[in-house]
Amino acid sequence: MTNDPKTTEVCYVKGVGETRAKQLNKLGIKTVSDLVTHYPRGYIDFNNISSIADAPQDEYCVVKARVFSKLSPYYGNIAIYRALVSDGTGEMIIVFFNTKYSFQRLKTGEEYCFYGKAGGNILRREMNSPIFIEAERQKFLMPRYSLTQGISHNMISNYIRNALNAYSFPEHFSEDFLSEYRLMDYNDALKKIHFPASAEEYQHAKRRLTFDELFLLQLGLKSMRNRKKILTGAKMANKDIKAFYSSLPFELTGAQKRSIRECIKDMQGDSPMSRLLQGDVGSGKTAVAAAACYFAYLNGMQSTLMAPTEILAAQHYDTLRGFLEPLGVKIALLTGSETPAKKKAVRKAIADGEIHLAIGTQTLIQKNTVFANLGLVIADEQHRFGVEQRAALSAKGENPHTLIMSATPIPRTLGMIIYGDLDISTLDEMPKGRLPVRTYGVDSSYHERLYKFILKYAENGFQSYIVCPLVEEGISEKASAVNYIEKLQHTCLKDVPTGLLHGKLRASEKDEVMRKFKDGELMLLVSTTVIEVGVDVPNAVVMMIENAEQFGLSQLHQLRGRVGRGSEQAHCILVTDNKSEFTKARIDTMVRTCDGFEIANEDLKLRGPGDFFGSRQHGLPPLKITDIGSDLELLEETRQAADKVLASDPLLQSPDNTGLKKMVAELFDDCYDA
């Protein structure tokens, strides 16, 4: 066993052991370092006291009261322990279930601070299973942690205290650096984030640890960007793409033309292009990608486009064939559901250079897919791919150019982090003739009227979607796609040709359903969010979303983007019976605007950064303590600090920055050296 907290297993912390270690593993805590960076998700402020008489009904609060008497326990299916307490304004029954130890800790005549939900009635107040401390410890912030079965707040708090006492957590910044940015010592910050003596101590500790997260994250992304400024093996010459513009049956927007110019300029540079093409739903990203592929073709180089689903890959294949095959570009589709013989034939054509543009899913990054002369890599809906997957695709060529497409609008502040290693092109214009989707928020009492609304459009030859958050009926009452089909058999839609689409279907079954819907054989599609990304059916004009409160704002916006892709006025109906202010604010935002960037900013305000940021969605390290919404000033400060370090040492190769480089590499795991 080493004494390095980053490599020492958590089982060696005093009090933990093998059994508790396995339970802690479920929280992502495997090492001592993981344990001490399992930061509190909140604190109980025992200074903020309510009297028993004024304790808010059914809300969590702190009451300070003396134990008047301990009542006889009740033993049935569970043991119930009760104590009567009073603070002079009233009396309250404190109740514990099956927790004799907590009950025994209470001493008659002693005063305590109790934290819990105040219940009961005006005649007899109650508080069940409260957390409590002795009154003399009142000036105390008690941390609250994310837990798992078998692990209590007291346990994890004690484990962290033992770890902080037994292990050293050395400072990784110089004294000058700490002074320049007004930062607390790292070891102190760890102790005071878990055991602050005051709110002020907590704020200083949080600032230091948030600074570390944002600084190291931006340092890593920016240094990776610097390392991309190596010579590309796909430097391209200036070629005239007028033939591409002339072949289009429509006029590109100014934003599309600007983005194409930006891509072409990058592709002529000595370093590989590393660019994000960000645009709202329907803004025309595919046409920009087509122009980049055509430019690569004119330079004698291959391109590849990776999509997150087979449905989307097939759609890109159809669309790009229409754009590029008339210009001589040979295109192939490579997905997992193709027959082995077909995949083998396509791979041979790609390896021989006969295919100029290969479109597919993650099949493209498999070892047996080899390119003859790959010059351009395009990844669609990048937030669904990890950094490793992008790197694996780029490794198929000699430092090829990379274009990332995303229809998920990202607030500028988050974009600074998530796309810190990319240049950005933004499509901020919509194609001419595109009508905004009319959006409505209603409750389930409107169902009959909504079904008639869909029927009217079906009779006039237009298609509709109904989106449900679940696939099958479970203990939840939320709408189920499978059972919804049966429900429609008892409505006016029973004779409307209807299909079912969800993630549990085989890829071939999904493709068949989507083909029938795109070809007009089905007039209604009941689906889960599998249709969220990219499915393009211009004839679909109604999007009805059940249990709309279950979806994030940006997800609702993506779903809404599946309609309104033709010239007919389209409608999006958000159905929810949830009456909370939170839900109302979100639905009102959707009704008010179709601007994806405005919606993304509103989503960030309402729900925080969790849905935009995290290793699951973006392939980046998760933020453990940072709150993007309230740490904007620190975000800018850490950006400037990272720039200052990299200005003198772009690749973190200086001996003075060895420690920083090691920390960045640990933060990004294998991605940093990709």
pLDDT, tens only, 621-633? 677 888 766 677 8
Q: Which CATH superfamily is domain 48-138 in?
A: Nucleic acid-binding proteins (2.40.50.140)
Cβ neighbours of 475 (radius 10 Å): 4
Confidence of residue 617 (pLDDT cuts 50, 70, 90): very low
Phi then psi dihedrals of residue 399, to 5 deg: 50, 60
Token pair for 486 = 């049966």
> For residues 81 and 431, which has the higher predicted lDDT (pLDDT)?
81
- Tell whether the model's pLDDT for residue 118 goes beyond 90: yes
Q: How far is CA 558 from CA 16, 31, 503, 596, in A?
A: 46, 39, 17, 9
**Residues 167-213 pLDDT 10s:** 989 898 989 999 999 999 999 999 999 998 888 899 999 999 999 98
Please list the residues that pair with 360 across neighbouring strands. Answer: 306, 334
Are the CB atoms for 540 and 501 separated by under 8 Å?
no
The pLDDT, as a whole number, for residue 654 is 86
Q: At residue 379, does pLDDT exceed 80?
A: yes
Residue 342 scores a pLDDT above 50: yes
Nearest to 511 by CA among 484, 531, 489, 495: 531
What pLDDT, on the 0 to 100 scale, is given for residue 494? 93
Stretch 214-233: mean pLDDT: 80
Q: What is the largest CA-CA distance in the chain?
A: 91
Task: Note the pLDDT of residue 1.
Answer: 53
The segment(s) of the chain belonging to CATH 3.40.50.300 are 242-427, 438-593
pLDDT above 70: residue 614: no
Pick the CATH number of 1-41+141-169 from 1.10.150, 1.10.357, 1.25.40, 1.10.287: 1.10.150
Give the pLDDT of residue 217.
86
Cβ contact 111:94 at 8 Å: no
Q: What is the pLDDT of residue 531?
A: 66
Among 417, 422, 418, residue whose Cα is nearest residue 639: 417
Average pLDDT over all residues of the chain:
86
Percent pLDDT > 90 in the chain is: 47
- The pLDDT-based confidence of 536 (bands split at 50, 70, 90) is confident
For position 469, what pLDDT does the model report? 80
**Residue 302 in contact with residue 357, Cβ under 8 Å?**
yes
Which part of the chain has CATH 2.40.50.140?
Answer: 48-138
Confidence class of residue 477 from pLDDT cuts 50, 70 and 90? very low
Do the Cβ atoms of 484 and 466 come closer than 8 Å?
Answer: yes
In angstroms, the CA 310 to CA 512 distance is 12
379 forms beta bridges with 306, 404
For tokens 């169902």, what's the residue?
447
| pLDDT tier, 310 (very low <50, low <70, confident <90, very high otherwise) | confident
Span(s) in the chain for CATH 1.10.150 = 1-41+141-169
Please give the Cα distance from 64 to 46 (Å, whole number). Answer: 9
Task: Report the alpha-carbon distance of residue 448 to residue 453 in Å, rounded.
Answer: 9
The pLDDT, as a whole number, for residue 613 is: 46
Q: Tokens in use for 473?
A: 């009926």
**pLDDT for residue 629:** 62
Domain 438-593 is of which CATH architecture?
3-Layer(aba) Sandwich (3.40)
Which of the residue ranges 65-79, 364-378, 422-436 would you say has the lowest mean pLDDT? 422-436
Specify the range with the lowest mean pLDDT, choosing from 104-118, 248-262, 460-474: 460-474
Architecture of domain 242-427: 3-Layer(aba) Sandwich (3.40)
- Do the Cβ atoms of 145 and 41 come closer than 8 Å? yes
What is the mean predicted confidence (pLDDT) over 481-486?
A: 85
Mean pLDDT confidence for 31-55: 91
Instruction: Please state the φ and ψ torsions of residue 227, each to the nearest 5 degrees.
Output: -70, -20
Report pLDDT digits (tens) over 388-432: 666 777 778 888 999 988 877 676 666 666 666 678 888 888 777
Please tell me the predicted confidence (pLDDT) of residue 608: 52
